[in-house]
Amino acid sequence: MTVRKIIHVDCDCFYAAIEMRDDPSLAGKPLAVGGSADRRGVIATCNYEARAYGVRSAMASGHALKLCPDLLIVKPRIEAYKAVSREIQAIFRDYTELIEPLSLDEAYLDVSDSPHFAGSATRIARDIRRRVLQQLHITVSAGVAPNKFLAKIASDWKKPDGLFVITPDEVEAFVAELPVNKLHGVGKVTAEKLGRLGIRTCLQLRDWNKLALVREFGGFGERLWGLARGIDERAVQTDSRRQTVSVETTYEQDLPDLASCQAQLPQLLEELARRMARLDASYRPDKPLVKIKFHDFTQTTLEQAGAGFDLASYQSLLGAAFARGNKPVRLLGVGVRLHDLRGRHEQLELFAR
């Protein structure tokens, strides 16, 4: 099997870093980018000075100010962030065309066949970090590994402004010590279930055979078996295709009950229809979905195969989702899971040869 060379690059507190770069008077002060507290805003990101107080992304701005009364909150400048992101992408393309952006501030690069630096992924990552700092005056962290799963973990290993490398020979020992909640796809619920089974590290997970894990976790059990051994065959996807279209709103006052939530649906669906109309013909609506964030910041998402996309179908889906919490609601979202017709056509051609 050919060993791949994957780099995961992740900008350090990206939005905040650009704000501090463009306004040096902000440097060294607790800073967050997000919505204002008096409009029930949420923190998008914050610098490390703010994180020292416990401020985190997705936190309510009001709560962040309670943790850090001196916190400066500035409004996002999305166009400025997009412009910097494009410049970073241009640097990436000097080393490889196999780039999978995950967001404005992070991406996977497959440099397995890159001719630069005699094919050394470590030296390529080091040079990317140098150029981003010199040209754009922000820092990025990078992880180098034989696959995407490990490269992403590695990029976080020495944050901020760090580089960490996991060579093929180091994979087995490195993964053995990993807590299972570091595994790709393991969320809070799965981590808790693994803990109840006495599995807290990948070394302990290796004691379970594949069949036993499939019995406990369904299809995801097979992936758990592979990740515990550092196996991840996912390729870097250069053609990023939409999986969903959605629209959501955070309300200044909590919606107290299901009826008040249902009353918001027509407006949300009207905006969703506008966004759907902008899609090209290579997508087909697959499943409707709703998202609810309750007043205590717990949230749930529900989708249903075979359901319609009319108001009544979304009302039914919203009712089922609301019943999971039955609490006042601060955010509502509606969306559509998409079926990629172009992907289906390409698969058919592949098997027709």
Q: How many C-beta neighbours within 10 Å does residue 199 have?
A: 21
Residue 145 within a domain: no
Q: Which of 194, 227, 260 is the last residue of a domain?
A: 227
Length of the chain: 353
Task: Please check whether residues 312 and 338 belong to one and the same domain.
Answer: yes
Same domain, 336 and 262: yes
Are the C-beta atoms of 334 and 268 separated by less than 8 Å? yes
For the domain that residue 314 is a member of, what is the CATH number?
A: 3.30.1490.100
pLDDT of amino acid 348: 34
Say if 250 falls within a structural domain: yes
- 251, 327: one domain: yes
- What are the pLDDT digits (tens) for 254-293? 999 999 999 999 999 998 988 888 777 778 898 999 999 9
Over residues 22-79, the pLDDT tens digits come to: 999 999 999 999 988 887 788 999 999 999 999 998 888 999 999 999 999 999 999 9
**Residues 251, 218 share a domain:** no
The annotation places the binding site at 10, 105
Q: Is residue 112 part of a domain?
A: no
Domain-located, residue 265: yes
Cβ neighbours of 340 (radius 10 Å): 15
For 167-201, what is each residue's pLDDT tens digit? 999 999 999 999 999 998 888 888 999 999 999 99
Query: Scanning the structure block, which residue is given the tokens 């036993």?
Result: 212
Looking at the structure, do residues 295 and 323 belong to the same domain, yes or no?
A: yes
Distance CA 144, CA 258 (A): 48
pLDDT tens per residue across span 83-104: 999 999 999 999 999 999 988 8
216 is catalytic: no
248 compared with 65, residue with greater pLDDT? 65
Has residue 345 got a pLDDT over 50?
Answer: no
Answer yes or no: do 282 and 336 share one domain.
yes
Q: Indicate if 259 and 315 belong to the same structural domain.
A: yes
Residue 125 lies in a domain: no
pLDDT at 8: 98
Rounded to two decimals, what is the model's pTM?
A: 0.72
CA 300, CA 294: separation in Å to the nearest integer?
Answer: 9
Q: Are residues 250 and 306 in the same domain?
A: yes
Interior/surface letters 44-78, b for 16+ CB within 10 angstroms, e for the rest: bbbbebbbebebebebbbeebbeebeebbbeeeee
Catalytic entry in 49, 106, 192, 270 = 106
In a domain, 92, yes or no: no
Instruction: Give the range of the structural domain holding residue 197, as residue numbers without chain letter.
Output: 172-227
Same domain flag for 278 and 339: yes
CATH for 183: 1.10.150.20
* DSSP label at residue 339: E
Looking at the fold, whether 214 and 296 belong to one and the same domain comes out as no
Task: Render pLDDT for 126-158 as a digit per residue (tens, 0 to 9).
Answer: 999 999 999 999 999 999 999 999 999 999 999
Do the strands 329-340 and 244-255 form a parallel or antiparallel pair, or are they unpaired?
antiparallel
139 within some domain: no
Structure tokens belonging to residue 166: 């996991």
Per-residue b or e along 98-123, where b marks 16 or more CB atoms closer than 10 Å to that residue's CB: bbbbeebbbbbbbbbebeeeeeebbe
Q: Kindly state whether residues 210 and 265 are assigned to the same domain.
A: no
Number of domains in the chain: 2
* Both structure tokens of 73: 């909150």
Binding residues for Mg(2+), by number, are 10, 105
181 and 220 in a common domain: yes
